Chain A
C-alpha cells in the first residue's frame, strides 16, 4: 500500500534553533500535502495545506513566517519550525493525497524544544 514517510520521528533542539521535518510520499505523487499539529492529549489541528510548486495555504492563527513550508517536488514537502521555542513543542504529522479519494498519514514527528 501507499506509504508516507516522515522524518525525523523525534527531534530535540535548543530554543532559538530551526528544525526541518520532511514528509515524503514513497510510491505515489502527491500534489497536495497537509501539515497538522497535535498537543499532548489533544486533537490534531490543521496547520497548512502544501501545494506542489506554489505557496502553502495556512490556517487562521498559524504564523507562516514561523512555520515555513516548501513543496518543491511531487513527493516531498518540508516543514521548518524557525527560531523554535518551548511552546512549539508538539507532535507534527503530515498527510498526502494522490487523488482518487485517498489519503495517507505519516508516522509523525515529536518535537521537543528545550
Chain B
C-alpha cells in the first residue's frame, strides 16, 4: 500500500529564513505528488503538483518542490518565509494515477517567528 511520510511534525523558522519541508513516499511506481496548505479550520489550497517532466516544480506563493526518484522524496522549499506562511502543510500522493483519491502525509505545522 502506498504511504506518505512527513517526518517533521512541527517546524519553527524566522521570518525571512529559508524553509524546507520533507516528504517521502512509498509506492512501486512514480505517483502523482502534491503539496497542500491548510489554515486552521479551513479547506486545502494546492501549492503545487508533480505529474511528470521537469523534476523541479514551481508553485504559488513562491514555493517550489523537487522530485527525487532515487530518494522517493518530494520536498517543499521556499527561499524566504513570510509570517503569512504559518499554517499546516500536507504532502499527498495519488498512487492510483487517474483516480484522484489522495493519500496524505501526517502534516507539518509551520510557525514563523518575527
Question: A: which residues have CB within 8 A of B?
Answer: 6, 32, 34, 36, 42-46, 49, 91, 93, 95, 97, 101, 103, 105-108, 110
Contacts and interface: CB of A to CB of B under 8 A. Distances in A.
A-B pairs, top 3 by smallest CB distance, nearest first, are: A107-B43, A97-B100, A105-B44
B29 to A, nearest CB: 16
Contacts of B90: 43-44
Contacts of A101: 32, 51, 98
B100 A105 contact: no
Interface of B is mostly: loop
Interface residues of B, number: 20
A107 to B, nearest CB: 4
A34 B100 contact: yes
A46 B102 contact: yes
Contact of B104 (A32, A43, A108, A110): A43
Contacts of A105: 36, 43-44, 46
A106 B43 contact: yes
Contact of B106 (A34, A43, A46, A49): A43
